[in-house]
Amino acid sequence: MPRVMKPSALPEDYDLIVAIQAGDAAAFQTLYRKYWRPLFNVSYQATRHTDDAKDLVQELFADIWQNRAAVKPDTFSAAYLHATLRHKLLDRIRKQAVRQQYISRIVATTTDHDNSTEAALQSDAFLEHLQRELIKLPERCRLIFQLSRFDDLSVDEIAGQLRLSPQTVKNQLTKALFRLRTSLHEYATWAGILVMGYWW
């Protein structure tokens, strides 16, 4: 019986997706090579940053491989890939906006009480120190902290996303906050707001 396909699926793409669903890594590489460049071009036009553009496209293809059983061969198309990339770009923009709002609120809350040049300089130094200390955290602690403070996710949302128990998330977040509070002790006001999670 002839195969029935919707117009959106090219025959070669249909065959590649079927092979990928069967775990064919070579077929996945073929698909990757076929679509990587046009997707990267779109991603770069949106981000204007080579590494960010590459990361988004790599993430897209990683999702395809990890969730290959759910990809529908008869509807797979370049349009599907571009729509998926667009969602990832919008999600990245949203997360960056939340992160910037969080940092801005730390600075605004502290400098409102002391609007001096010294306070402004201290806030800049605090943010630089915070970035350095975040890098030192164990990977899981850092990720959970970022999801909580920068992506504005609840404990239950983080637990679901990382497939951890809520208690594990709480323990890791407590560990991250304790280490940050200790390492940022010289910035008592800023660190206090950060650790207490004032807006959460």
pLDDT tens, N- to C-terminus, the chain (200 residues): 445 444 456 888 999 999 999 999 999 999 999 999 999 998 888 888 888 889 889 999 999 999 999 999 988 988 889 889 988 887 777 666 656 665 565 555 544 444 443 444 345 666 677 777 788 888 888 888 888 877 778 899 999 988 889 999 999 988 888 887 777 665 554 444 454 443 33
- What pTM did the predictor assign? 0.51
How far is Cα 172 from Cα 76, in angstroms, rounded to an integer? 39
Half-sphere exposure at residue 64, Cβ-oriented, CA atoms within 13 angstroms: 29
Q: Tell me which fold the domain 114-196 belongs to.
A: Arc Repressor Mutant, subunit A (1.10.10)
Question: What six digits make up the tokens of 46?
Answer: 């949106």
Task: List, by residue range, all CATH 1.10.1740.10 domains of the chain.
Answer: 11-92
- Give the fold, CATH level 3, of 11-92: Rna Polymerase Sigma Factor; Chain: A (1.10.1740)
CATH 1.10.10.10 range(s) for the chain read 114-196
